[in-house]
Structure 1
């Protein structure tokens, strides 16, 4: 029955915090303050809950970092494979692979900052596993460049050094790109794709 004048209505139910919300809050704080500079109490405060309630969604702060890094590196590889799937031409593949990687660093800046700064805070064996996923991406880019050299499309002398330069320049986007800047994320990604071809001394 509805409450009378002498009865008070039940308090409004508090919004449920999900595991996804915990990860998102952790990602934001790790990006802003660094993994070691973020306390679990700060994540809980951001979510409006008590710190012990976080343990309904995770075992430790370390697990949060591992989950975030693993998801990001998985998505990087998924992006790569999707970008190069429609062509065997190393020029087309390098342009597409660089573009999608650059675009991710402009549109997923929090993830990029955390992965590139805080992955080394992971314990073994997680650290070795995450490093291997990053090396898998680098080897794939290097393989494209080597095929481009073999077919005469690229004239760069060192495929490994070229792949490193392309990846590192793309990583830097997360540190300087701003949504309200003079270029959109897509424009930056397009330009970086052309930079990659220049690094490889494209003969087109």
Structure 2
């Protein structure tokens, strides 16, 4: 007797997955995770209610994919921002400029990434928190190098890193495309504030 044929599941279509993730980001940002239904997400993606489950096992899995990809994107962007820059003041300004602008440009995704990850399962939350620690570590390294070179006047590296990251993250909470300030302008403002916060001084020759 032949073994039963294994069930065939449709392969993930990249276009449909992207539509679902965009729709989920918008719905989660506007309603929050608990108030959003899979019907809301499917409707936003132009699919039937069952369409979500073709690609994702649950609403939580969708949130996890958004949270993980959003954090990975932010971390990659931060690393690229500081790459090749030697002066701590330049590195900090570039990091704050780009991180703040990203939270405006991607404000719906960023809002979900920063404020909805507590709804993940413990396993998924642990993976996302690992990425958040990597982001924190990058900012700490910039601050530590600035203090070591005499460019920054910082008493507590951890508290200062938290304050700087919170400044950038908060952009996703209040930003709207209807405001007059552009993401680039917001980034420049936060970069200048960051340098003032750390008491930036010219790096000794």
- TM bucket by the smaller chain? 0.7 to 0.9
2:98 is matched with 100
CA contact (8 A) 1:80 1:97 kept: yes
- CA deviation vs aligned residue, 1:106-157 (integer Å, no higher than 9, x gap): 1110111111111011112111111111011111101110110111100121
| Alignment partner, residue 111 of structure 1 | 109
Structure 2: gaps spanning 5 or more residues: 1-14
Is the counterpart of residue 90 in structure 1 residue 88 in structure 2? Answer: yes
Conserved? CA contact 1:179–1:185, under 8 Å: no
**What is the alpha-carbon root mean square deviation over aligned residues?**
1.3
Of structures 1 and 2, the larger Rg is shown by: 1
Q: Secondary structure at the match of 1:141?
A: helix
Q: Deviations along 1:169-202, whole A, 9 cap, x unmatched?
A: 1111112222232321111101101111111111
Query: 1:199 is matched with which residue: 190, 197, 200?
Result: 197
For 2:61, which of 50, 55, 63 is the aligned residue? 63
The alignment partner of 1:51 has SS state of: coil
**Matched residue of 1:149: which SS?**
helix
2-side partners of 1:152 and 1:97: how far apart? 19
Moved beyond 6 Å, runs of 4+: none
Secondary structure of residue in 1 paired with 2:166: helix
From 137, 143, 148, the equivalent of 2:141 is 143
Q: Which residue of 1 aligns with 2:152?
A: 154
Aligned mates of 1:80, 1:161 — CA distance in 2: 19
TM-score normalised per structure 1: 0.88
Mapped partners of 1:151, 1:30: distance in 2: 43
User: How many residues matched?
Assistant: 188
Which shifted more, 133-142 or 49-58?
Answer: 49-58
